[in-house]
Amino acid sequence: MRQLLILSIHITIVLIILLTHIGFTQAQIPTTLDGPFKPVTRRFDPSLRRGSDDLPMNHPRLKKNVTGNFPEQISLAISSSTSMWVSWVTGDAQIGSNVIPLDPASVASEVWYGKESGKYTSKTRGDSTVYSQMYPFEGLQNYTSGIIHHVRIDGLEPGAKYYYKCGDSSIPAMSEEFIFETIPSPGPKSYPHRIAVIGDLGLTSNSSTTIDHLVRNDPSMLLMVGDLTYANQYRTTGGKGASCYSCAFPDSPIRETYQPRWDGWGRFMQPLISRIPMMVIEGNHEIEPQAAGITFKSYLIRFAVPSEESDSNSNFYYSYDAGGIHFIMLGAYIDYNSTGAQYTWLKKDLAQVDRDRTPWLVAAWHPPWYNSYSSHYQEFECMRQEMEALLYQYRVDIVFSGHVHAYERMNRVYNYSLDSCGPVYITVGDGGNIEKVDVDHADDPGKCPSAGDNVPEFGGVCHINFSFGPAKGKFCWDQQPEWSAFRESSFGHGILEVVNSTYALWSWHRNQDTYNEDSLGDQIYIVRQPELCSVSATMQVIS
């Protein structure tokens, strides 16, 4: 006990020094050491609209602004601290009953780069492909993409600035010059400047506000936790304005997804992700079933992720280091059971993490395990039951999810019990999509879903009645759960700033506070306690 007291005093002193140094006091910004916190709810502001309309395809931010085979939809993704993926699209996509795929070999995939503007000392080639979304049914529109290019440039210096252009120099059709900065090398003293976190973004006016606000916060990388374009929603609440797909299209044998929205989204995001890497994971709106049972085609083809680099061999789950942070991206819409390939990979990946080299361990997937909103309540309880103990055993620090269109931050929790060694779970499915913000809580009178609701689009149903605590014998709590520290129904985005191997500042920004720099929706220092929450100690708890 004496050692714990001395350790607690030491941490408090260090925290006060740290906060004073950067201009804050402990009283101004709480830390997880002050928790667990009494649950707080900020109700939806009735003066605001719950959502906004989709941007039309001829909107300036979605229109194609290049001709011929000049690159567009340019984006970056982390491969490692010494390598970067560069992706782009050339040529014209086609949509209609009869479409003819372009020949990927007709346009080369080149990236020129160097450390000085206009002086490209290196050139690298990559691969290209096309994909199709096919519906062999009368009245549904088939689609074939432009040529999608992926080039990995290697041998870069960590934490360095590079100038680059991409395209095909033989045509010639090269892009304008862009700039990016590589991430720092793994190590306990180096971290990305700011990490932006968004979920369920879409292409609405709210989405525009989210991105504009995020750009003002000057992130150095972007974590996108699923549900990117809502292309599969555009034929309902989007371009057609129908509230019910099966009602508006009663003869449709399969739900149509309007693939040009992917191209619009790539143009919409290019000003940001052509200069900072975006790391993605799939959500349910990326499933996009088509003929022959094919799913996730757009997601799998359009994005380069470090799957091979992390020995996963699957774009549905992978990991990467960003300075002193090890990120794990998991797939909720493929097999997550303990007997499956993803679980086997996860166990191996976690066992290889060196916490002296990457002290912070951050995980992300689309649907939240801990969620007190009516929407998607206990929807992925099966996944939690399969994987939570493993993540707890290896003391994951933070978990980001989306899916629920609101914001919620949890107290440290494990198996629905407050636990000082559990992760801080954060839901940021509030990017601004067409489905509007969620406002109902499962603990509100009359808002508890039935046990037959919230059936996942993949996996089984494992809904439970609580066997202990304040909700014992019930499916829903009758008050905000003790593990829910703060929740608010508003669109926005988050920023994670890791200060050192112990402290990370998490800030959540509401869209309506875009031009009020002194106002934040939520802010807290997440504090690691590796001395108290060792891997050996957590293994004893769950064994």
Q: Which residues carry out catalysis?
A: 376
Among all chains, which residue has been given the structure tokens 């599969």?
232
Evaluate whether 380 touches 369 at the Cβ level (below 8 Å).
Answer: yes
CA distances (Å), origin 126, targets 105, 107, 311, 327: 11, 11, 20, 25
User: Residue 405, Cβ neighbours under 10 Å: how many?
Assistant: 28
- For 62, how many CA atoms within 13 A lie in the half-sphere containing its CB? 19
User: Residue 215, Cβ neighbours under 10 Å: how many?
Assistant: 13
User: In degrees rounded to 5, what are phi and psi of residue 251?
Assistant: -95, 5
Q: How far apart are alpha carbons 286 and 112 in whole angstroms?
A: 32
Q: How far apart are alpha carbons 519 and 538 in whole angstroms?
A: 38
SS3 197: strand
Return the exposure string of 51-86: e unless at least 16 CB atoms fall within 10 Å of the residue's CB, then b. bbebbebeeebbebebeebbbbbbbbbbbbbebbbb
Q: Look at the alpha carbons of 4, 8, 9, 11 in this order and tell me if their dihedral is positive or negative.
A: positive
Q: How far apart are alpha carbons 65 and 442 in whole angstroms?
A: 46
Evaluate whether 192 touches 221 at the Cβ level (below 8 Å).
Answer: yes
Q: Look at the alpha carbons of 436, 437, 438, 439 in this order and tell me if their dihedral is positive or negative.
A: negative
Instruction: Give residue 227's identity as a one-letter amino acid code.
Output: D
In this structure, the dihedral spanned by the alpha carbons of residues 54, 58, 63 and 67, taken in order and rounded to 10 degrees, is 160
SS3 344: helix
User: Residue 464, Cβ neighbours under 10 Å: how many?
Assistant: 12
- Decide the pairing of beta strands 178-181 and 161-168: antiparallel
Token pair, residue 35, equals: 């928790």
Q: How far apart are alpha carbons 461 and 380 in whole angstroms?
A: 8
What DSSP character marks residue 394?
Answer: T
